[in-house]
Amino acid sequence: MTGPSMTTAPAVELRNVTLAYHTFVAVKDVSLSIRKGEFVTLLGPSGCGKTTILRSIAGLVQPTGGEISVAGRRIDNVPIHKRNIGLVFQNYALFPHKSIFDNIAFGLKYRKVEKAEIARKVKRALDMVRLPGVEKKLPSEMSGGQQQRIALARAIVIEPDVLLLDEPLSALDANLREEMRTELKIIQREVGITTIFVTHDQEEALAMSDRIVVMNKGEIEQLGTPEDVYRRPETRFVASFLGQSNLLPGRITAIADGQARVQLDGGPEIIAAAPASARAGAAVTVVVRAQKVTIGAGSKAMPGKVISASYLGGTAAYFVESGGIRLQSNATIDERVWREGEAVGITINPADCLLLDEKGDRLV
């Protein structure tokens, strides 16, 4: 299978799900529909409710309101052992004293599958995760990346309706983490399984997801493709949380030819693309990604000065000052790294600027 099925029936559906612990509301009135075969990531800071939603789908916690359905069947009132769900935890949760075969076969034995069928399914699951022939080994004989694959094989061998991944890559080192997220996505595509992935890592979410659910304080801030949430953040929170953005408060002084002139508070004037709802005189916040702030030489650019420079290999991270404001710029290194104290020109394309209103919502 090469992508999500376009079937109209959702593989997973949450309808007005709320989960409260006494007076603390961890999840507030969340509704979400996920298509069959889709890879959806719940992204947000610690305490935003993403793991609570995952645990409520798994049956580890009980919602205090709303409904959860998987494959068209309501499951929020179904015991955990009767939900056909695969779950991979952050620490893999493998049985250390059991062989790889017995670890993967655990769910099948619980379901009383015949021995010959168990052997066939375990072999197939190991082939899927590209670890054939390791059935007799113990988890302690496997590397961290291999253990992660074994945990994945155990989750998919039961042919679950949905696969839930609770930050499964966070225990790996940086290089292996990058390799495994690519491998995990490939496996998910090949198996065609509906997957919900929880992470606080923005790069993982952008690289792996069909859609991203950005959460904050128990609510959904934005739902969209990786490109949508990155390039067109709908709120101040999404703009500040996802990627590195400059948030520049100011006021629109004029609108002409589809562009707004914005006088930044205590700073220079900047030109931004003007959405239909923009009005002269309105207080706004200009959002511009650090990657879209270009620094270099140029007489037509805003004059500025490099405050700090960090060499990152193929790129460099700068803070530059212009007219009393400070901007972050992440740039590819073409010839050299600009040094602290150097005078530079700062260029920002109006099309790369988004405008937020006084409430922090994107103007459209």
- For residue range 302-313, list pLDDT tens digits in order: 899 999 999 888
% of the chain exceeding 70 in pLDDT: 97
Q: For the chain, what percentages of helix, strand and coil (3-state, to nearest 5) are there?
A: 25, 35, 35
∠324-330-333 over CA atoms, to 5°? 120
Full strand arrangement of the beta sheet holding 354-356: 269-273, 259-264, 245-256, 283-289, 354-356
Asked whether 311 and 329 are in contact (CB, 8 A), the reply is no
What is the pLDDT confidence band of residue 5, given thresholds at 50, 70 and 90?
very low
Residues 6+ apart with CB under 8 A from 250: 262, 263, 264, 265, 267, 270, 283, 284, 285, 286
The distance of Cα 322 from the centroid of its chain, to the nearest Å, equals 33
Asked whether 346 and 328 are in contact (CB, 8 A), the reply is no
Count of CB atoms within 10 A of residue 201's CB?
16
- For residue range 200-251, list pLDDT tens digits in order: 999 999 999 999 999 999 999 999 999 999 999 999 999 999 989 999 999 9
Asked whether 311 and 264 are in contact (CB, 8 A), the reply is no
Please report which helix (H) or strand (E) contains residue 256, including its range: strand 245-256
For the chain, give every residue range classified as CATH 3.40.50.300: 12-237
State which CATH number among 3.20.20.140, 3.40.50.300, 3.50.50.60, 1.10.357.10 fits the domain covering 12-237: 3.40.50.300
Give the largest Cα separation in the chain, rounded: 77
pTM: 0.89
How confident is the prediction for the chain on average, in pLDDT? 92
Give the C-alpha separation, 143 to 172, whole Å. Answer: 10
Highest mean pLDDT among 115-124, 143-152, 310-319, 333-342: 115-124
For the chain, give every residue range classified as CATH 2.40.50.140: 244-355
Strand partners, 266: none
The fold adopted by the segment(s) 244-355 is: OB fold (Dihydrolipoamide Acetyltransferase, E2P) (2.40.50)
Asked whether 38 and 11 are in contact (CB, 8 A), the reply is yes
Would you say residue 193 has pLDDT above 60?
yes
Name the DSSP letter for residue 243: S
